[in-house]
Every structure is written in C-alpha cells, then in structure tokens.
Chain A
Amino acid sequence: MIKLRYLLGLLMIGAFVLGACATDAAEAPEEAEEAAEVVVAVDPEACNLAAPAEAVEINLIHWPFASMDFMAAEVEKCQEVENISVNVQALAFTDVVDAINLALSTGNDSPYDIVHGTAAEFANWGPQGWMMPLDDLIAKYGDEYGLDDISAGAFSGATFDGKVYGIPLIGDSQVIAYRTDLFEAAGLSGAPTTYDEIITACEALTDPSLDVPFQIDFSAGWAQEFEFLAALRSFGGDYVNADNTPTFNGPEGVAALEKMVAVKEACMGDAYLSFGYIEGADGVSNGTIAFASHWATSMPGMWDPEVTDFMDVIAFAPAAAANPGGGLSGTSWLNFFFIPLNTQNDPDLIFRMIMEAADLESMTRGASLGVMSRSSITEGVVPNAIAVNTTIAEGVGAYEINPAIPLVQVALGEELPFVFGGSKTPQEALDAAAAAYTAEAIAQGYISE
C-alpha cells in the first residue's frame, strides 16, 4: 500500500510537469507568430536583428581567451531575439580543431554554424572546401557594417583561391612584456630587440625573487614549433618548397634552433618545461618573471589591477628577432569566425549574427580585451596593441595556407623537444622531422613520389 502511494505521487508529479511543459509548448507558437512581426529597436549593445519567422538554433564553437569570449558573448546576445537560440561551446584549442575535423570531414550537415579559427587551421579547412565563401555577404552588408575598416591584409589569412571565407576579429602575435623597474635596476636600456639581447638581459637580471628572468614557451613540442617557425623565417628560411618538399632542415633551420636553445640555456635552464604561456603570463603578473615573450591575447592579466600589483611597471614591446637584421620573430595571427559550408541554417542570418560581434560598436567595447581587427579603433585599446601591430607588420607573417603544413607541424613537434632536452643535435632532429614529414606527405599525396 505504501509503495502504491509513492507510485501514485510520482505519477501526479509527472503529470503536473508534463502539463506545465505542454502549456508552454502550446503557447510558444503564438508568441513566435507575434515576435515575427516585431522589429527589434536599434540598441548598440543589443542584438539588432529582426526575429526570424521560425525558430533557429545557432551553434558556435571557439577556444576561450578574454577577447574571444567577448566576441562569442556578443553573438550569444542574439538569444534575446525571439526564435533565436544560441549555443556556445568553449573548448580547449585542440578539442575545437578535433571537433571541427570530425564534424566537417564527412561532408554531412554541419553541427556548427559559426566556427572560430585562425589562418593555421584555415590552411587545412580552406583547400578542403569545408567553409563557406563570404564574398557575396560581404558585398551585401559591407557598407552597413563598415567592413572596409578591416584591411585586406587582415582578410588574407582567410582567403583561398581569391575568395574570402572568414571575418577577422582579433589580432594576435608574440610580444614581449617586461618589468621596466627591474630592467632599470639591472642597467638595461629597454626591451630587447634580438635574441642575443634577450640572452644579455637574462645574464643581467639576477634578482633572487625571480623564478627565471625570462620566459618563452618551450614547454611542449607544439609550442616549440610555433616559435621555431618565427625564428626560422627570421633567418630567411621556411617550411616547404613550392612542391612541398621540406626546407626547414637547412642551415637556416639549424641556426634558428641553435639560437632558441641558447635562449633556453641562458634564461630558463631545466625549468623551461615548467613554464608554458599561462605560467609565463602569471609569472610576469605576480612578479616572479622579469620579462616574457608570448601571445598578446594571454596578457590581459598584466593590466588588470585585480590580477597584478605591477601593472604600472609592466610595459610591452614587439617580439625580438632571432636573427639580428631579420624579421621580428613573431607570427601573424588573426582570429576569424567562419561559416561551415554545410550549415543547415540561413547563412544570411548567421552572417548578420557574426556582424553583431564584428561591428564597430562591439569592437570598440572589446578593445580593452584584445587587439581588434578594425583599424579605426585607436582609443581605449589594450596596452600591448602597438606592440602587437608592430610585430604583425614587421614580423615573419602568417602560416602558409597549405594542407601539408599541419604534417610539418606534427613532425617538428615530435622532434624539437629532443633538441631542447639535449639528446639530439638540431641537424639530427630536423633531418628526422624532414624524413617523417616527407614519408607522411607522400602517403597523403602532398608530395609526388
């Protein structure tokens, strides 16, 4: 009898819940019909879109950092519009790339409508035809959203075969953050401009409160690969020839690696494995590292008084050059929003939702978090904006849009750590990486046998 009472009670609760849900569902179509006729008033901080006639669900995927989180939030505001729901997935970088590869490689309906990526990822996505060309939409809405405020160079990282596939949002590059007070105390005149000057600065900065004088991310193979490209190009080298045969194991590659190892030995020693870019940014913020070179987008804590006590004595400078007289050892990164070719939603609506993040008003508000792609934004910008833009302008450029490049990255990521660990010489490691890359590139058809 007691069990029967419990069962009846559960059934009543279930019926009540179902009834409430059914009531909501019954009311929803009427509300949707009403909403379709309402045009949202123009509010700079709201989503200024007319409600679609039918309910749509927009899925956005990105990897998180402060300025990108802001961009995603600007798109997510469109949930306030009737019939629009936005799902934002913020995953780690490698998880985003894996998820997109898995979702788009089959050519089936895309589970994502807005995808975050940089030129490095587009190097694979673009030639595979996974993303939607946006030229028509840019032509249609360019005047309304002032897209000529974004330079052609910014769009180039998402351009393939003459077509533009992505909207550039946030610029990034390697820059140097340094403590002006510690540099002055050590008799250093300013931020180093070459890797040799970095080594000199490390030898001069002997404050015992420092964990290490300088940090650059050599903590993992993929991080070393990023820095290796920047150093390699500073020495005039590059990854592959026009026929995709490797060139990174030439004398320029060896010189670049030797210089990187010299920096590691002089500045971090064996502790280099403990300092990734997050630990490096934290170290500068909490005063245990004197200067560091890494991604500008990882530095917001350095001018946030709630994070650091040293914001008044932290300054920023462009990336140093591995080769004196060569390009600055900073690669050019722009973060884009792409629309997958096989999205099941209206590309026009999706594009306009992206514009809600890329419009001048949103980027002006977001300028305190990262370097925005609009050149007209000059006030209220992040403290490292000039350093970022200088590195982008005078640095070694972006990754080549070539689907063979990810194979180079993998091969280098497997071998470079052993150079830093001391078990292989630069030439041995680069030759091994070249052999592994060549074998895989031949197998996947990027190099002719």
Chain B
Amino acid sequence: MNRKTFFGFAAPSSFVMFVLLIFPLVYAIWLGTNFITFNTINEPRFVGLENFQTILRDPLFWAAMRWTLLIIAITVPTHLFLGFSFALLLDQFQGRIRAFYMAALLMPMIVVPLIGMIVFRQLFDPPGLFAYIYRLITGGIFVFTPLSIQTLIVIHTIWIYTPWAIVLFFAGMQSLPGDQIDASAIDGASRLQQVRHIIVPHLRALIILAAAIGIMDAFRLYDNVFALTRNNPIFGANTIMVFNYNVAFSVNRLGLANATAIIATIAIMVALIPFLYYMYREQIEAR
C-alpha cells in the first residue's frame, strides 16, 4: 500500500480520534493552567502550573489517591479471580442450564451502577433487610462506620465488575482446543494442572486485558461511592473522581478540577505501563 493510500484510509479515524481524544486532552491541560470558576468562566486567568501544585500539595487529594489505589489492589484481582472461577464452572454446563446460570451471573451488568448502589445502601439503612437481620442477631442498629462503608464499596465494586470478567474469560475458553484438555487427561493431569498449564496460558492475553480495563474502571469509580457515602468526608471513602467532582462543583474551581483530571489521567497511564508493555511485547513476539 503506498503512503497516499494509507493516509487516505487512516484520515477519517485519525480525525475522529483528534476531535474526541487529542483536542479535549490538550484543551483540558490548557484549562488546568488557568484560574476559572463558574463565575469567571468567560474570563480565565493564566496561572501556569499553580493549579497542579495546589492539587499535589492537597492532603485530601493524596487521601483520595491512596483509597483509590487500595480499591484497585483489592477489587481487580478479586473480580478477575471470581470471573475466571465462574467462567470455569459455566464451561462445565451445557444447554439451558448454562444459559440460566449465565443470565443469573450477568444480572449485575444490567443494573445501572447508581441504582444498584442506592438499593444496596437501602439494604443497610434502618428499615432495610440486612439491617433487620443484623438487629435480630445482635439486638442493635447497624451503624455506618468508615470501615463498613469502605467494605460495602469494595463489595459493590466487585459485584458490578465480575460479570464482565466472566463474559471475557468464558468467551476465551470457547476458543481453547478441546483435544489439548483431552490429551492432558489421558496423560494423567489433574483438573488443577489443566487449569494451570493449559487454560491460564491460553487466556493470558485476556487476563492482562481484563486487568487493564479493571484498573481503568476502578479509577473512574464515582456514582456508587457518592451514593453510598452521601459525600460525607468522615468515611474517608472519597475516590479520586469524587474528589475531582468536589473541586469542580462544591468549590467551583474549574481550572483546579481540570488539573486534577490531568493528574489522575497521568496516574492511570503510569498504572497501565506494565500491562501496555506486556501487550506490546506479545505483539512483537507474534510477528
């Protein structure tokens, strides 16, 4: 293909990428270098890197970053493990039973995350089902504490992201040649050995992809955290996106919020470097 033809084919998607990705990113960086509020939105004042310095000196930013990273460290491996386990179990079934279990396991994907969290919280509110069970067992009222709120956030995050991992890994297992499993069984391999030496290597690329997407999703946590905590700082459960929201819409500092978004984007990219490098190596080796 000559260069002219190549650019001709690449131009439309490049244009779309520029409009939807590159331009907003550059514009956000520029906005982050200005002092802007809702009241001065038509009169931005250039302040250079001051917004970025302000955010990096803010202890609330680092608290939100630590909590977000903790959520990632707990929820991503957990939902990958659960997704892989459920996919393995699903692979054992056939026909309608498989369809039934698949539908049941994918239900969390259908529920809007915010609605799911509101209902989730209501289970633990004073008139809620779990609060009632708690009262029956202990005789006391279930009380929201920082630990209970943070635990519920982790549980809910795992609940909403596990179905996506199930779908991904189940689809990957369908492409696994059955004769490899059969041959290993003839050679005396146990089920665990089959999983470890055949299935996991086959799904390695998908596992890396799922981990990368899981990290990005966990970084973006906002609506379910906001609904559960009601933006109460005492729970120490504000993620980086909730912090970003507060900067933009509570303090009304739009320039500062843009700076926060840029810093968060850089943090996500840093977190994804190992995964991107692995994918790059895989592609090079495949050639």
Contacts and interface: CB of A to CB of B under 8 A. Distances in A.
Given A128-B39, A274-B141, A220 B230 contact: yes
B231 A221 contact: yes
A288 interface: yes
B250 A413 contact: yes
Interface stretch (B142-150, B171-179, B181-189, B265-273): B142-150
B143 A101 contact: no
A353 to B, nearest CB: 27
Nearest to A128: B39
Given A406-B252, A407-B251, A222 B144 contact: no
Interface string B131-145: 100000000011111
A351 B238 CA distance: 42
Interface in A86-122: 94, 97-98, 101-102, 105-107
Given A275-B126, A286-B127, A406-B252, A105 B230 contact: no
B233 A270 contact: no
Interface stretch (A162-170, A199-207, A276-284, A310-318): A276-284
Contacts of A271: 126, 141, 143
Interface string A410-449: 1001100110110000000000000000001001100000
A274 B142 contact: yes
A417 B253 CA distance: 23
Given A276-B230, A444-B37, A98 B143 contact: no
A279 B126 contact: yes
Interface residues of A, number: 40
Given A273-B144, A279-B126, A410 B250 contact: yes
Contacts, number: 83
A106 B234 contact: no
Interface in B63-104: none
Interface string A121-137: 00010001000000000
A211 interface: yes
Interface string B227-246: 00011111000000000001
Interface string A216-232: 00011110000000000
Contact of A220 (B39, B141, B231): B231
Given A271-B143, A274-B141, A274-B142, A417 B232 contact: yes
Interface string B4-48: 000000000000000000000000000000010111111000000
A101 B39 CA distance: 9
Given A101-B38, A219-B232, A270 B252 contact: no
A449 to B, nearest CB: 15
Given A220-B231, A417-B232, A105 B39 contact: yes
B134 to A, nearest CB: 11
Contacts of A288: 126-127
Contacts of B280: none
A366 interface: no
A415 to B, nearest CB: 8
B234 A421 contact: yes
Contacts of A275: 126
Contact of A282 (B42, B127, B142, B145): B127
B41 A211 contact: no
Interface core residue of A271, A276, A403 (most chain B CB under 10 Å):
A271
A421 B234 CA distance: 7
B127 A106 contact: no
A101 B249 contact: yes
Interface in B44-64: 60
B118 to A, nearest CB: 11
Given A128-B39, A271-B141, A221 B251 contact: no
A39 to B, nearest CB: 43
B235 to A, nearest CB: 8
Contacts of A94: 249
B64 to A, nearest CB: 13
Contact of B126 (A97, A211, A444): A211
A107 B40 CA distance: 11
A222 B246 CA distance: 12
Nearest to A106: B41
A288 B126 CA distance: 9
Contacts of B131: 274
Nearest to A283: B126
Contacts of B252: 101, 406, 444
A221 B232 contact: yes
Contact of B233 (A105, A276, A414): A414
Nearest to B254: A105
A274 B123 CA distance: 12
Contact of A410 (B126, B232, B251): B251
Nearest to B42: A107
Interface string B143-168: 11100000000000000000000000
Contact of B141 (A211, A403, A406, A443): A211
Interface in A130-159: none
Nearest to A101: B38
Contacts of A410: 246, 250-251
10 closest A-B pairs by beta carbon, nearest first, are A417-B234, A105-B38, A220-B232, A273-B144, A220-B230, A105-B41, A410-B250, A270-B143, A101-B38, A421-B234
17 contacts: A94-B249, A101-B252, A102-B38, A211-B126, A212-B141, A219-B232, A221-B233, A271-B126, A271-B141, A273-B143, A274-B126, A274-B131, A274-B142, A274-B143, A276-B230, A279-B127, A418-B234
Given A101-B252, A444-B39, 10 more contacts: A221-B232, A221-B233, A274-B125, A274-B131, A288-B126, A288-B127, A414-B60, A417-B234, A420-B234, A421-B234
Interface of B: 35, 37-42, 60, 124-127, 131, 141-145, 230-234, 246, 249-253
Interface of A: 94, 97-98, 101-102, 105-107, 124, 128, 211-212, 219-222, 270-271, 273-276, 279, 282-283, 286, 288, 403, 406-407, 410, 413-414, 417-418, 420-421, 440, 443-444
